[in-house]
Amino acid sequence: MVVVLSPDPGSYAYALPGVACISSNQCVAVGSSSDSDLAPRTLVESWNGTAWSVVPSPSPGRYGDWLDAVSCTSLFTCDAVGLSVTGKENNRLRLLAPTKTLVESPFGITTPSLPRGTVGQVYSANLGAAGGSTPYVWTLVPRSGKLPVGRKLDKNAGTITGTPKKTSVTSTFTIEVLDTKGASPPKQNTATAIFTIATLPAP
């Protein structure tokens, strides 16, 4: 077991009694945080496989709010419950949130492989990615290889299309995808994958 420190947004005390993990690098923890002179407020943190980070969450109670447990029923929805103190009455507090706002999926190319082509037949293949922020930009990594003769990569659509004119040796190359998160290079995500396309003779 390894102890990983989590951020403490309060100056007095905080606790995270509830946690749910969708995968080894996607977890959500809930609890409460408070300053010495303020009532506790809800605390939600997410785990990305490397570190915990605070996720904004509402605190509607006048005298304090805290969350006791969280459950993620699917990759897209988490349900957290706790207590909200509005005055003389204590009310149950229930939070619903899409996990995509809590946990950012790892950025990467999701296409496992590309289909073979045939001379004289129209070729079309789609590249896919997950995580980060769309739209994506696709490029052929320089000096990593060439696309088969007669095919081209659409950098915006992420498609490889064309009509092969002749049989070629198997082509191996590397594709890079860039997201547009933050619209500045330091905040952008990049991922690469190596692909192979064979071109077969016409039947």
Residue 59's nearest CA partner among 92, 88, 93, 90 is 93
Residue 182's pLDDT is what? 47
Residue 124's nearest CA partner among 134, 116, 113 is 116
- The lowest-confidence range among 1-10, 64-73, 147-156 is 1-10
| Per-residue pLDDT band at 87 (split at 50, 70, 90) | low
Dihedral angle computed from the Cα positions of residues 87, 68, 54 and 109, in that order, rounded to the nearest 10 degrees: -140
Q: Is the pLDDT of residue 122 over 90?
A: yes
CATH for the stretch 108-200: 2.60.40.10
Q: Is the pLDDT of residue 92 over 50?
A: yes
Determine which helix (DSSP H) or strand (DSSP E) holds 19, and give its type and residue range: strand 13-23
Angle at 101 between CA 128 and CA 26, to 5 degrees: 75
Q: Is the pLDDT of residue 80 over 60?
A: yes
| Per-residue pLDDT band at 183 (split at 50, 70, 90) | very low
What totals of helices (H) and strands (E) does the chain contain, helices first?
1, 17
What is the spatial distance between Cα 197 and Cα 170, in angstroms, rounded to a whole number? 6
Please give the share of the chain, as a percent, with pLDDT higher than 70.
82
Q: What does the pLDDT average to over 26-32?
A: 86
The amino acid at residue 24 is: S
CB 195, CB 173: distance < 8 Å:
yes
Mean pLDDT of the chain: 81
Q: Is the pTM of this model over 0.85?
A: no
Rg (CA), the chain: 24
